[in-house]
Amino acid sequence: MVSLDEIAKRLDDLLRTGEIPDYQPAVNGVQVENRNPIRKIAVAVDCSQRTIDATIEAGANLLVVHHGLFWGGLQPMRGPFYERIYRLLINDIAVYSAHLPLDAHPTVGNNVLLARELGLTPSAPFARYQNIYIGARGECDLPTVEVAARADRFARTHGGRAVTSAILPDRRTRRWAICTGAGASADTLREAISTGVDTLVVGEGPHWTAVDAPELGVAIVYAGHYATETLGVRALGEWLADEFDLPWSFVEAPTGL
Ligand SMILES: [Zn+2]
């Protein structure tokens, strides 16, 4: 068994949690403390009643997530939000969250791992956010329908499916970029165009991005917010198990998005 402080410190060092900027509700690092040493780790994309209950069931007392407790913003501890906190506290479960530090990481990050999953090799960073890059880009020579099919096969292993903006069947992908999660935006599209990217693989994005994509000469593959962010937490689980010789499990809780 290992103390939460020790695990949190190693994770903070690995992920450079103190240096990487993020959106305010991300609250990277320990979000909820506990009292007893950590005996087992559960990892999940989201911190929900569902994943908290699965953590209890697995006998774990540390839940490591990509999306923490605070994305709903400042709110009173009532209703479902209270229920999450209550279940964590009475079961002595700690929560550690890693958002952009996990997206951006060069070895356990969602973006590099999704590239590998799709058989693509990154050669440059992509998706600038303040002073960091979240995503990855590279070159290949594949039919775009093949990139889309690989993304779809991957999404289906996590309860989702991939959708692609309108493309011609013989279109080829020569320069790709990946930005997991809510990766299709005005910023990523602008960056795709300025870097010559012809195919952008994301988790999700607003409808207008699929309307604009064909006119901009970019294909967007929407592989699911949930599915594209399962890889980082799983890699963290493996890394933690190795570092601390602790059992771990991945909690699958697809959202349909
Ligand atoms: Zn996300």
pLDDT tens digits, residue range 70-91?
Answer: 999 999 999 999 999 999 999 9
Ligand 1 centroid to 228 CA: how many Å?
9
Tokens encoding 113: 């791992």
Ligand 1 centroid to 110 CA: how many Å?
10
**What is the pTM (predicted TM-score) of this model?**
0.96
Ligand 1 centroid to 71 CA: how many Å?
10
The residue ranges of the chain whose pLDDT is under 70 are none
Ligand 1 centroid to 91 CA: how many Å?
26
Tokens encoding 178: 């990946």
Residue 224's contacts (CB-CB under 8 Å, 6 or more residues apart) are: 155, 158, 160, 161, 162, 203, 204, 257
Res 1: pLDDT: 87
Res 256: pLDDT: 86
Ligand 1 centroid to 222 CA: how many Å?
13
Ligand 1 centroid to 172 CA: how many Å?
28
The two beta strands, 163-164 and 219-222, are antiparallel
Ligand 1 centroid to 67 CA: how many Å?
6
Ligand 1 centroid to 182 CA: how many Å?
6
Ligand 1 centroid to 171 CA: how many Å?
29
Ligand 1 centroid to 46 CA: how many Å?
9
Q: How far apart are CA 193 and CA 105, in angstroms?
A: 24
Dihedral sign from CA coordinates of 56, 6, 244, 23: positive
